[in-house]
Structure formats: structure tokens, C-alpha cells
Homo-oligomer: A and B are copies of this chain.
Amino acid sequence: MNAGELRQGVARLLVVRASGHATDRQRRYPRWELSNNDLEQLLNAGVGGVILLGGTATELQQRCRTLQRWAGQPILLCADVEEGVGQRFEGASWLVPPMALGRLHRRAPQQAVQLAENYGRCCGNQAKRCGLNWVLAPVCDVNSNPDNPVINVRAWGEDPHTVGELTGAFQRGLAATGVLGCAKHFPGHGDTATDSHLELPLLQHSRERLESLELQPFRTLIQEGVSSVMTAHLLIPALDEQWPATLSANVLTRLLRVDLGFKGLVVTDALVMEAIAARYGAGEAAVLAFAAGADLILMPADAVAAIDALCDALRSGRVPMARLHDSLERRQAALQSLPLTLDSSNNDHRIETAEERAFSLELVTRSLEISNSSTAIGSIQAEASTQPNPIDGINLIRVDGVLPCPVLPADAPAMLLPKALGLHSVLSHPLGISPWADPADPLAPLALDRLGNGPLLLQLFVRGNPFQANRSMREPWTDAIKQLIGLNRLFGLVVYGSPYVWEALSALLPRSIPAAYSPGQMPDAQQQLLQRLLNPDPSPALSTLGINEFTD
């Protein structure tokens, strides 16, 4: 293998990041997303994979064709579409988070397993239609820690049995479409309270505990024949006192390859993440991961530096050349397993079939949890106003951010339906004027004089979002709810996202106050939840609003 071949071979192992948009200026994260010039050069130099984020499904179709053409050879095209392709690419199906099925599994395990299989099939088929050949899912982490800021509702459950059953079913559905899957984040990221996007979490469990909990779903997925496993940026002293899992030969080679017998592709989590990038540097992190047993290097902080460093390590004998051959062979095998029809050039078919649309709505329906829907509204209404309608009150919506806010299009049901009752929307978000009293007052945390008068419907969009850490946990919603109940002003409570926030807050409510929970935050979930919460009788009141217009 000459220097040029070596360099090309090494480049094949990289999976670099691109926006799904056509132009450089449309990139949402230009610090992480390569420019088109850089992408074209790297693909031309042999880079073997691209992870995509952002843009619409239609743009993604076009984008995949362009990247494939720049590469001039089959490449891996992947995305973190854990919750349906529509989670990342508008126009495709946006599914409720996996934890919704984990909760359903408690009362209807067979149904949950069947839905999980359809979930995998839906992700795979839509990925394929968009031009992707590798879905970076399922998350196999057992969310045993409710404070987990980064896994949370992305997990399929809170115990290894549930997660194993559901991720296994997802994988079967995905495999049936021919698209590659990825079990992540090995050896298990469910019991961390630190966001590895920001720092390196520590997992202080014994090997026995890991065997009985964290590793179980990965064993299941390996039995199911999952194509790839993604590593976690975690320090687990019981497995390796020095190296985080992503860089640990003990974890990737001894545990994953030898003990668990995994024969597919091992891919790192994004090396650009602070837990790794800040400590080791772009080139050295790639070499350490590769030496430890990773086949593919995802999102190196600097692709050229990673290629240089890997070439040096192979030439110097620091990493044996056989490792390169093995990794390239595994990559080739994965690409050859793909059906020939995968990269469709026919973009006329719809991205979401009617059956998939119905499936996404069914998932919403089955995951809603409604308490005390009707009676209380009548009583507050009677107190608030002599006329039954409209109520003059507030619809306070808490979101993580508004620039942009995918859960709130301008015609979001979370605003339109309460508006029809006379509740005007007020958004609470990090860039807005604060709704909290200053100085803080535990007995009256909400500055109600800023928000207006009348009954208040509180809708919280809150889930453990990467990079957001536990921001929502620092907001005193518990005290705010007590304050509103004390003033007899709480019209209702809705939580979209975190079951933990829902359980903590709904426990505070008397039976007379309507409340509801949806694991999904998308407009479809708002629509179904509020229709049932605000208008439990199938009366014509809401149907006259034309609210069906925007959900077909």
C-alpha cells in the first residue's frame, strides 16, 4: 500500500458532518458543518461517509445525490433520525420519542413491541426515500437515571428488559428495509447526569451491574444482527480507569468484540464533542479511538488532521496495518449488504405514505395521558367570567428557545386551541423577558403582574435536550404551580416531553384541575392532547375553528 492508497484508505474511515441544506449560508451550525468546498474536496480525497442534519426531506434527497456524486463511489450517508426522519428533516414523519413506547410497554407490552417494529420500518423506509443508507438508531441506553440530560426520552425504557425488547423490534423493522442501523451508545449512557456534549461523564458501576443492566440491550441488538455500534464518551473505571469508552481498547475490543462477539462496524460518537475534543485534540483523538478498536471516526474536530494522524500512526507501526484492512473490510461488507435500489433517483414519490402518516398519529394517540379533562374547566370558567365563552385568560407556554422553535409553527395547536377559548398566548423562552419575580420569591415565583389576569393554562415543553443540560430543572415550576393553585388561577397543566417533569408536577394538582401529558412535542401531539383536554365532548365547538386544516 503506497502513501496515496494509505491516505485514501484512512479517509474511507471518516464520517464528516454536513448540513442537509444546499448552500453554505443555510447552515445552522457553521462551526461544525463543513462548507461545500471542503466537503467536495474531502469526498474527492476518499472520505467515506457523511452525517447530515438540517433542511427538509426534499433538500435531503437532493443533498444525498450531490454528496454521492462528489464522492464518485458508494459512501455511507447517515443521520440521527432516532425519532423518525421528520425529527431532523421537515416533511418526513416526526414520531413520538421512544420513551413513549417504553411507558406503553408497562401496560400493553405486545402492542408496544409491534409499534416499535413499525417505528423502525418507518425510519428505514423514509431514510431510504431521502437517500440515506444508515440510520443512527436505536438508542440502546437504559434510562435508569431520570436526571439524565442527554438520553432521557430518547431511550426506549428504564429497565433493560423493556429496552431490549423494543430496540430489538425496532431493529427488525429497520433491517427489513435494508437500511443499516446503529446500537448506541456503547456500553450504555443511561445512568449519567452529565451531558457528554459539554463534559466527560463518569459511570461508577461494577462490571456485574453493567452486565445486568447497561449491556443487556446491546447483547440483544448484536443477536439481531445490528450493523453498527456507536461508542459513548463516558469514563467507566470498572472497565477502564484511564480511557473513556470511545478511546478504550478494554471497552471496544475486549468487551465489545471479544466478550460480546460483535462483528459489525464500530463507530465513535462525534469526536468533536467537548468530552473528547477538548482533552485530546483532533488528530490524537482519532488515533486513540482507532487504536482502541473503532472502525469509523465520526465527526472528527478536523478531518485533515485526523487523516494525517491516522496515516502517521499506521506508518509508524503504532497501530498495526491489519487494523486498517479489517475496518475497511467491515465497511465494505456493510455497503455491499445494501439493496441496489437504495439510492433512488426517483424523487417523485411522496416522502411520507398515508400509512406512515396514520402510524405517526396512532403513536401520538396511544401515548397521551389525560387527567381530569372536563369538569374543572367549567368551574373556573364560571368563576372567571359571567359568559361561558370566551374566558379572558393566559396561555403560558414554556419552550427551550424560539430561534427557531420547531414545535411551534405560527399556527401551532398549542396556541390556536387555547386562543379559541379566549386564552391569549405568552411565550416564556431564554431570550424573552423573564416571567419570574425578581428577586426570587418561593411563595410567588411567577411575576403574575407581568403576565396578565385571569385563569392560566400552563404548557411546558420540556425534555432532556443535549446542550440544554437541565435548564428546565432550574426553573421553579413546582413553586409556580403551588402559587397558581393557591390563587385559584391554574386553568390546567400540560407537559410535552419529559415523563419525570410530568410526574413531579401533576402530583401537585388537586383532582379538579385538568392536566395532560404527551411524550411527543410535535403539533400533532398538541392537537390531539388539547382537543381532548379542552373539549372532551365531541361537540362541534372546535371543529368550526378549521383546526384540521393544518394537520390534514
> Contact at A56–B57, with CB atoms within 8 Å?
no
> Contact at A91–B21, with CB atoms within 8 Å?
yes
Residues on the B chain within 8 Å of A510, using CB: none
> Contact at B402–A23, with CB atoms within 8 Å?
no
With an 8 A cutoff between CB atoms, is A340 at the interface?
no
With an 8 A cutoff between CB atoms, is A347 at the interface?
yes
Interface residues of A in 280-296 (CB under 8 A from B): none
> Contact at A25–B402, with CB atoms within 8 Å?
no
With an 8 A cutoff between CB atoms, is A28 at the interface?
yes
Interface 1/0 per residue, A430-467 and B, CB below 8 Å:
01111100100000000001110000000000000000
Looking at A21, A350, A550, the one whose CB has the most chain B CB atoms below 10 A away is A550
Write the nearest CB–CB distance from A13 to chain B, whole angstroms: 27
Interface class of chain A by DSSP: loop
With an 8 A cutoff between CB atoms, is A3 at the interface?
no
> Contact at B22–A56, with CB atoms within 8 Å?
yes
Q: 5 closest A-B pairs (Cβ-Cβ)?
A: A433-B433, A432-B432, A30-B549, A402-B402, A22-B58
With an 8 A cutoff between CB atoms, is A543 at the interface?
no
With an 8 A cutoff between CB atoms, is A412 at the interface?
yes
Closest-by-CB residue of B relative to A523 is B25
For the complex, count residues of A whose C-beta is within 8 A of B. 58
**How many Å lie between the Cα of A91 and that of B22 in the bound state?**
7
Binding-face segment, A142-150, A160-168, A320-328, A421-429:
A421-429
Write the nearest CB–CB distance from A204 to chain B, whole angstroms: 36
With an 8 A cutoff between CB atoms, is A189 at the interface?
no
With an 8 A cutoff between CB atoms, is A27 at the interface?
yes
Closest-by-CB residue of B relative to A449 is B438
With an 8 A cutoff between CB atoms, is A110 at the interface?
no
Residues on the B chain within 8 Å of A350, using CB: 22-23
> Contact at A435–B433, with CB atoms within 8 Å?
yes
Looking at A22, A55, A429, the one whose CB has the most chain B CB atoms below 10 A away is A22
> Contact at B434–A427, with CB atoms within 8 Å?
no
Partner of A551, one of B25, B348, B410, B551: B25
**How many Å lie between the Cα of A434 and that of B427 in the bound state?**
11
Write the nearest CB–CB distance from A77 to chain B, whole angstroms: 17
Closest-by-CB residue of B relative to A408 is B403
Closest-by-CB residue of B relative to A450 is B433
Interface residues of A in 59-92 (CB under 8 A from B): 59, 61-63, 66, 69, 90-91
Partner of A550, one of B27, B426, B550: B27
Residues on the B chain within 8 Å of A261, using CB: none
Known contacts: A410-B403, A434-B433. The answer to whether A549 contacts B31 by CB under 8 A is: yes
**How many Å lie between the Cα of A57 and that of B432 in the bound state?**
31
**How many Å lie between the Cα of A438 and that of B30 in the bound state?**
42
**How many Å lie between the Cα of A347 and that of B427 in the bound state?**
40
With an 8 A cutoff between CB atoms, is A24 at the interface?
yes
> Contact at A550–B25, with CB atoms within 8 Å?
yes
Residues on the B chain within 8 Å of A351, using CB: 22-23
> Contact at B21–A56, with CB atoms within 8 Å?
yes
Write the nearest CB–CB distance from A91 to chain B, whole angstroms: 5
Partner of A58, one of B59, B348, B438, B451: B59
Residues on the B chain within 8 Å of A241, using CB: none
With an 8 A cutoff between CB atoms, is A352 at the interface?
yes
